[in-house]
Amino acid sequence: MSKDQDDFLKELLNDFKIEGAEHLQAMVSGLLELEKNLNSPEKKMIIEAVFREMHSMKGASRAVNLMQIERLCMNLESVFHEIKNGKLELSIKMFDVFFQATDTLAIMLQEIDNPNKSVSENNINQLGVRLKALSLKKAMYPTTDFPVKETFREKSGEPVNLIESNTIEEKITSIPAEKSTQTEALPAIKHEGKTSEKETVRIDTAKLYDSLRLAEEMITMKNKLKFHSDQLQVYSSNITNWKRKFNEAASFDKEVEMKEKELLKKYDEELTDAVKNIEKLQYDAGRTIDEMILGLKKTLLQPFSSLLAVVPRIVRDLSKEYNKEVELNILGAETEIDRRILEAMKDPIVHLVRNCIDHGLESKDERRKLKKSESGTLSISILSDSDQKIKIILEDDGNGINREKLIIAAAKSGIIKAEAADSMTEQEINMLIFASGISTSPFITDVSGRGLGMAIVLEKITGLGGNIEVESVKHKGTKFTITLPQTLATFKGILVKASESLFMIPTPAIFKALKIAPADISTVESKNTVRINNEIVGIVSLADVLGIRKRHTGQKNNFMQGLVLQLAQKKLVFIVDEVLGEHEGIVKSLGPQLKHVKNIAGATLLGDGKIVPVLQISELIGSAIGKSYTVVLDSEEKNENTAKDEPPRILLAEDSITIRNMMRNYLETAGFAVVTAVDGQEAFEHLQSDSFDIVVTDVEMPRMNGIQLTAKIKESSAFNHLPVVLVTALESQDDRKRGMEAGANAYIIKSSFERSNLIDTIKRLI
């Protein structure tokens, strides 16, 4: 065969893979609909449609000489021909054989280019016998003793049971049905919303991606134009200043002066024109590039139906395996999203569906006991908004999350301390399901129990610039809300400086930018924090987390620059030296040599040619765990403190004599002068007769407790300047909130505080 003929055959086979996948998905969708509604008034129409798909796939496979596929399609077509003509009654038992045949077709389609076929001639013959037996009403339905001696073989050479193998589902979900920009299929389930009837054109996606990459490269040109435009503005300003100084200077010889002025005027006009031209060029280029990228991205949009088409089959198989009745509802399958996002979301969606059926929905008996309908409901809704954001809402009406089991599993895995759960919100507990290694399943199966799936779900979603939220009510159900961008937007990031080094932080990860005064910082459980929207958030230094040596600038600032970064529901404030504004560009990977560099996702190019690392937010927040921001006093402030003749005076209120003596010893050893009180009332009396630099108090005390003492201090114009540190055994979130609302500057837990933490906190506050 000549090279041209060989290339032509490859092209035909590629076309058939796309067409065959579309026919197959339509078949599977129709079979699922028939299985659910054997007595539906639309039954004849669906049978006719499935029959046509089988017939079309048979003809197409014959055209490219794929005789095994043709023969299997012919056997299927023969059965449906008799069903269609009323010679054979369609029954529920037939569907296992039908789906076994479609599974086989899926594998054969996937392996068209693979010389090592999984499907043998004997496999095809066995399926042919079973399908013909249906016509004879002597169906050989698959059972647990199904012979597997000649079933599919993987590369290892080991036999794989077609009925039980997990590889079948994996192979089905990897069919390239989404190669065209839109596929047509019969409704597999109850769909709501409009269906698109736009004409489509098949385009090699590799070419589209190449075009998109080229277009995105032009962003660099746009940045350079902006940079040079800014430079020309500077030059123009310099000439303006030159003119002013020239006019103010002593006069030259009149003739020389005239020539210089004419020359300067000429240069000035040329420069003014150049600035105008390049400004227009920058504007036009920027607009054209943005439109080009947006247009190309739209060509890669695909409806969710191409992803969700596999869900009904997965629901059908799992519901049979677990003996659960499941009603699947899908809303908004026509909503379009970037094909790359769609491909990346396949595994997370499949895993969430599995979890809802395995963990969420109860068995028929359990639902009867709870006075629920025997059939559980699983709903998937796809919504779009005006901000080009897509929401995927996946909801079941099952048990809900068992938070008690989840806390036990998290504590057992070392993710949290058991006692810390008392201070966690329901939302924070729910989010523990995404921690790696956590599972509430009593035993490990192929579907669940390893504790890795949900962690991967979170990683995939956040990696796409999205987030996921969980709501759950006991015995009512669980709701997952995933928010994603409609397209993989061109990278936008905030340029920051940390210890003279530049870094780019992805804009979607930034919850808020803020300025923080030292007085805004409070200590909670030995960690420095700041209150944001009534929420206590930890503070770390970006330079510390990245392991960069801090360089003292010699400048004294009253405020610190902070960026609140958010991953899922976790927030953390990163202190930086400077925030230099938002930049747009493309991110290049570091290459295989640097793929293990921690906290760095890649690098981007600025308009002036500088290469800047782009931070990997999930790793960065992970690296920040256990760290806390330390406020370093400027040399002037240190000198002011050391210049005092007397040591700082501390008023210590503690009702336990043992703890009171221990803390006094600690503080006096550190160089403080300490006066003690047995409760809040005595402490306030000391304040009225003596002067102090700070108050350290327990919470639970007789007569006046620590929170009441704090509130009284902060309400008094004579004492409200005094910092207050609460040192207590109360660890709940409500207790911390009460203390902070009363005006305390720090909150330290007795069970976790160390001498150095208390002393460092006091030194910072005074």
Residue 380, classed as helix, strand or coil, is strand
Domain boundaries, the chain: 3-177, 205-299, 320-485, 491-624, 644-765
Q: Is 438 exposed, middle or buried (0-12, 13-18, 19+ CB in 10 A)?
A: buried
Cα angle at 58 between 54 and 61, to 5 degrees? 135
The CATH-assigned architecture of domain 3-177 is Up-down Bundle (1.20)
Q: What is the 3-state secondary structure (H, E, C) of 217-250?
A: HHHHHHHHHHHHHHHHHHHHHHHHHHHHHHHHCC
Predicted confidence (pLDDT) at residue 22 exceeds the cutoff of 90? no
**What amino acid is encoded at 603 in this protein?**
A
Tens digits of residue pLDDT in 733-758? 677 778 778 888 888 876 555 555 77
- Separation between Cα atoms, residue 150 and residue 145, nearest integer Å: 14
pLDDT value at 270 more than 60: yes
- Domain 644-765: give its CATH architecture: 3-Layer(aba) Sandwich (3.40)
Closest CA to 764 of 574, 522, 584: 522
Question: What pLDDT score was predicted for residue 556?
Answer: 55
- Which of the four pLDDT bands, split at 50, 70 and 90, describes residue 197? very low
Arithmetic mean of pLDDT over the chain: 78
Higher-pLDDT residue of 368 and 252 is 368
Least confident of 6-20, 244-258, 650-664: 244-258
pLDDT above 70 covers a percentage of the chain that reads: 79
Where is average pLDDT lowest: 155-159, 306-310, 359-363? 155-159
The confidence band for 670, taking pLDDT boundaries of 50, 70 and 90, is: confident
Q: Strand 611-615's sheet: what is its strand order?
A: 578-585, 491-498, 501-506, 611-615, 600-605
Q: Alpha-carbon Rg of the chain, whole angstroms? A: 35
Report the DSSP beta bridge partners of residue 482. 392, 468
* Neighbour-count burial for 564-577, b at 16+ CB within 10 Å, e otherwise: bbbbbeebbbbbbb
Contacts of 747 (CB under 8 A, 6+ apart): 522, 523, 524, 525, 725, 726, 728, 736, 739, 740
Of the candidate ranges 226-230, 365-369, 452-456, 618-622, the one whose mean pLDDT is the lowest: 452-456
Of the listed ranges 93-107, 291-305, 334-348, 533-547, the one predicted with least confidence: 291-305
d(CA 35, CA 82) in angstroms, rounded, equals 17
pLDDT at 155: 34
Please give the pLDDT value at position 252.
57
How confident is the model over 372-412, as pLDDT tens digits? 999 999 999 999 886 778 999 999 999 999 888 888 888 87
Class of the CATH domain delimited by 320-485: alpha beta
Quick one: pLDDT band at residue 716, thresholds 50, 70, 90? confident
Entry pTM = 0.56
pLDDT in tens, 431-463: 888 876 666 554 334 444 444 578 788 888 887
CATH class of the domain at 491-624 = mainly beta
